[in-house]
Structure 1
């Protein structure tokens, strides 16, 4: 397996070098809107620990992240009255991973509405900001 690259975009966001539409943050985890959202309310849950993907993450890192994934999934479902929630996670390029920092996609699903393509069109910044606030309000 290839080693972790400290210059990946998520590491840069964690360090504050690049802005993001943050939904939630604590000492271990960052939740942000996916700028290439597949549906309204699509978020990314990432550990702050340097992990390339699920295969090299420490068990404690996974425990913290998955607890947050569940909490955020419930909040997104409530915020947007979603009909379901899809959680996706990719490991290495052949499996679809494009950013090599462990992350989970939490994607609200709406009946009879097709998902956008992964890494397709960039979402509107104003909509992302509003959606981030709506999910964060459900976390309180």
Structure 2
């Protein structure tokens, strides 16, 4: 399944050139054209899913398995000091291309962009935390 208007679908189809670092029947992994760090890559499922809410759960599980393999490989090759795995859903959360993708971001000590994932922490009272907890509880 493909979205004709999706830039990632076009990259997967080879209509737009990319720096591909991995490809199999289910995924294509490319270097990000606007990287946050050396080696920043994107895991793209070959089938189009807009976001985490739409992606098939087996494909999502396979994406995470691939992310682990790539993080280990990239850490070894690039000698990075840490790693971020980022996956945004909806515009308010920073999603700019509406094709599910995972960012693999190698992190280096003393590099620029070391604050890329910082945020201000919020404070909730114990009562508010209990209310939030109770509202989110799910059965396994």
- TM-score, with structure 2 as normaliser: 0.77
Paired with 2:12 and 2:38, the residues of 1 have a C-alpha distance of 23
User: Rg: which structure is higher?
Assistant: 2
**Structure with the greater relative contact order (CA < 8 A, sep ≥ 6): 1 or 2?**
1
Q: Which runs of 5+ in 2 are unaligned?
A: 117-140
Aligned partner (choices 12, 18, 22) of residue 20 of structure 1: 18
Paired with 2:12 and 2:115, the residues of 1 have a C-alpha distance of 25
The answer as to whether partners of 2:107 and 2:114 remain within 8 angstroms in 1 is no
Q: How many residues align?
A: 115
* Pair 69,7 (structure 1): closer, same or farther in 2 beyond 3 Å: same
Please name the residue that 1:126 is paired with: none
* Pair 116,10 (structure 1): closer, same or farther in 2 beyond 3 Å: farther
| 1:94 pairs with 2:92 | yes
Cα displacement (A) at 1:7: 1.3
Q: Stretches of 4+ moved more than 3 A in 1?
A: none
1:1-140 matched pairs, under 5 angstroms: 5-115=3-113
Cα displacement (A) at 1:33: 0.2
Cα displacement (A) at 1:96: 0.4
- TM-score, with structure 1 as normaliser: 0.77
Tell me the SS of whatever aligns to 2:43.
strand
